[in-house]
Structure 1
Amino acid sequence: MNAPAGDRRIHPAWWAAAATFLALLGAAGFRSTPGVMVGPLHDEFGWAIGDISVAIAVNLALFGLTAPFAAALMERFGVRRVVAAALLLVAAGAGATVFMTAVWQLVLLWGVVVGLGTGSMAMALVATVVGRWFVARRGLVSGILTAATATGQLVFLPMIAAIVEGGGWRPAALTVAAAALVVVPVVWFCLKDHPADAGVLPYGGTEADVVVPQRSGAALLALRTLRDAARTGTFWLLVGGFFICGATTAGLVQSHFVPAAHDHGMPATTAASLLAVVGIFDLVGTILSGWLTDRADPRILLGVYYGLRAVSLALLPPLFGTDLNASMLAFVVFYGLDWVATVPPTMALARERFGPRAAVVFGWVFASHQLGAAFAALVAGQVRDALGSYDAAWYGGAVLCVVAAVLSLLVRRRRTAPAPAPAPV
């Protein structure tokens, strides 16, 4: 199955990674879009920000809760079929929102339908592809694929904000639907399910590293894996840390940074562009984190990441204003480097502790991430309605990050054999 020793062609694993990156890029863009629609929906329909936040919270929760079942479905039916179906679901949900007239319809379409679709392309997809296709450079590839979430945010947020400002939220929703449809054929023709489908072994691996798919019922596999993982302390420490990770990124900053900036007189397009800059530096930070994960103790990395995040959130409230200033730019850069840098070390700890079941286990860990995001998105919206300011939400997020740093340092590692030397591209 291996190519001849002198064959210097690019290993098919890198093409699988590229197709996965594109799907994740789209999923991130689709998921981040509601953040720039809060104001327009509030203005047109008179819906309270707290009510709109319910739809965002449902979207975030399902984005996470779908992940472990999606990972199991990929075992049962294949990665390509699941991801293509998920993209079609996103297109249907986003496109149908242009006809809505009540807030429950927003919850159903953007919350439930789009949440299920994007959840099927969540971090469990990263764990599945990396686990099947890579042995060498797993940390680096995990970082690169995770960074797709930042790149999606970078590509979509300023564009969607500009469309909303120029033509309203309906053309923006249709743009999301069209973008999802465009990605479908790319995934269908470029993303193979297993290295064997391309006639190769996993990158840097041997026959012993081939992951055999489990063809049992997807739901049963996901639930049995949860039952077994829940008996370990490592699982609950990772779940606790990732709950807070989701609360302080997707739930708090991604969902409420734009309306919070708008409260202080900053134009929505400027605030959305700042989130896009977060995406640029997250791309750098996450890839660097993947590289570090191959070389350093993942627990220490997580402790540092959460500690730095706590400091940045505590310093954020005074930085908001009508004009863009150097201090806010410094926050954006600093926070961006730390945005999802937590994913590669968390995935490494899950893989080290749970072995072949790590993709499904990580799906459940990621579910806690999105439950945390849903919790923070909902609570932050309620805090804003009750107090007229987001300040309490930012300070609360800082305290939670300190707790996450402590939980990460408490994880006990399992001794493993040295990783194989990286294979040539």
Structure 2
Amino acid sequence: MDNISINSLTEFNVAMSEMQRTVPVISSQQKFNAILVAALCVITAGSYVTLSGLLTSQLIEELGWSSLNTTFGITVNMILYGATAPFAIHLMEKYGIKKIVILSLVTLCAGALVCTINSKIIFNLAWGILVGLGCGALTMSFGALFARSWFEKTGLPTGILTASSVTGQFVLLPMWAKLANEFGWRAPLIGCIVLTPAYS
């Protein structure tokens, strides 16, 4: 009985040693680069979130649209913003964070580009579906998953990503408003597209 226990313990120690050798060690530089990229993603998504009101006012002023003309798109956007997160997290866990994040950023970029077309139907569909899905995939649920995947202690990275979300949603809004006033309603959309990181 003792020999069996000793053999089992030895096999367990060998298996654990092999696992430790196969698990890659993440350096501090890699963690810094990863959280920088994640913060840029959250800022990018956040820059779209509060843009609805600004776009609506600009479309009313420049094109003569009414608030009802954008209600459908904004409503769908808000619904998908809240509903997409759990499905996006599931896909990130299944296929990898990087692939789904890149897909989300590309979706945001495509949605903003399509929105620049002067069409009520196209604007509502693009803003509601494409931008809604892209923003919904990069909420703080993504931030929590990222922090848990890359860091043993998640407090600091979660705080950084929360601050990044606020930066994207509110700090950038005055800049988008200034661009809209000077260059028209398409300017903040183009600004968001430019903000989308090159790795998307």
TM-score bracket, shorter-length normalisation = 0.7 to 0.9
RMSD: 2.1
2:129 to 112, 116, 121: 112
Mapped pair 1:134 → 2:154: no
The answer (yes or no) to whether the contact 2:114–2:123 under 8 Å persists in 1 is no
C-alpha deviation, 1:55, in angstroms: 2.0
C-alpha deviation, 1:154, in angstroms: 4.4
1:24 to 30, 42, 51: 42
**Alignment correspondent of 1:415:** none
**Alignment correspondent of 1:170:** 186
Q: Which string of whole-angstrom CA distances, capped at 9 and with x for unpartnered residues, describes residues 239-295 of structure 1?
A: xxxxxxxxxxxxxxxxxxxxxxxxxxxxxxxxxxxxxxxxxxxxxxxxxxxxxxxxx
Task: Report the Cα distance in structure 1 between the residues aligned to 2:79 and 2:32, rounded to whole angstroms.
Answer: 31
Within-5 A mapping of 1:239-250 = none
Letter of the aligned partner of 1:25 in structure 2? I
The gaps in structure 1 that reach 5 residues or longer are 3-8, 188-425
Task: Report the Cα distance in structure 2 between the residues aligned to 1:125 and 1:63, rounded to whole angstroms.
Answer: 12
Mapped pair 1:98 → 2:116: yes
Q: Percent identity?
A: 32
Task: Report the Cα distance in structure 1 between the residues aligned to 2:172 and 2:51, rounded to whole angstroms.
Answer: 7
1:124 to 141, 148, 156: 141
**Alignment correspondent of 2:107:** 89
Match of 1:99, SS state, is coil
The answer (yes or no) to whether the contact 2:114–2:122 under 8 Å persists in 1 is no
C-alpha deviation, 1:78, in angstroms: 0.8
Letter of the aligned partner of 1:113 in structure 2? L
**Alignment correspondent of 1:179:** 195
Match of 1:129, SS state, is helix
The answer (yes or no) to whether the contact 2:117–2:123 under 8 Å persists in 1 is no
Task: Report the Cα distance in structure 1 between the residues aligned to 2:92 and 2:127, rounded to whole angstroms.
Answer: 24
Ranked by relative contact order (alpha carbons within 8 Å, sequence separation 6 or more), the top structure is 2
C-alpha deviation, 1:51, in angstroms: 3.9
Task: Report the Cα distance in structure 2 between the residues aligned to 1:15 and 1:179, rounded to whole angstroms.
Answer: 18
Q: Which string of whole-angstrom CA distances, capped at 9 and with x for unpartnered residues, describes residues 303-357 of structure 1?
A: xxxxxxxxxxxxxxxxxxxxxxxxxxxxxxxxxxxxxxxxxxxxxxxxxxxxxxx
Mapped pair 1:42 → 2:46: no
C-alpha deviation, 1:155, in angstroms: 4.6
**Alignment correspondent of 1:149:** 165
**Alignment correspondent of 1:68:** 86
Within-5 A mapping of 1:254-333 = none
Q: Which string of whole-angstrom CA distances, capped at 9 and with x for unpartnered residues, describes residues 160-204 of structure 1?
A: 111110111012222222222xx141x7xxxxxxxxxxxxxxxxx
The answer (yes or no) to whether the contact 2:112–2:189 under 8 Å persists in 1 is yes
**Alignment correspondent of 2:10:** none
The answer (yes or no) to whether the contact 2:39–2:164 under 8 Å persists in 1 is yes
**Alignment correspondent of 1:160:** 176
The answer (yes or no) to whether the contact 1:84–1:184 under 8 Å persists in 2 is no
C-alpha deviation, 1:14, in angstroms: 3.4
C-alpha deviation, 1:52, in angstroms: 2.2
The answer (yes or no) to whether the contact 1:62–1:119 under 8 Å persists in 2 is yes
Task: Report the Cα distance in structure 1 between the residues aligned to 2:134 and 2:32, rounded to whole angstroms.
Answer: 25
C-alpha deviation, 1:149, in angstroms: 1.0
Letter of the aligned partner of 1:140 in structure 2? L
Taking structure 2 as the reference length, what is the TM-score of the superposition?
A: 0.79
Single out whichever of 89-98 and 38-47 deviates more from structure 2.
38-47
Q: Is the helix fraction higher in 1 or 2?
A: 2
The answer (yes or no) to whether the contact 1:62–1:115 under 8 Å persists in 2 is yes
Letter of the aligned partner of 1:26 in structure 2? T
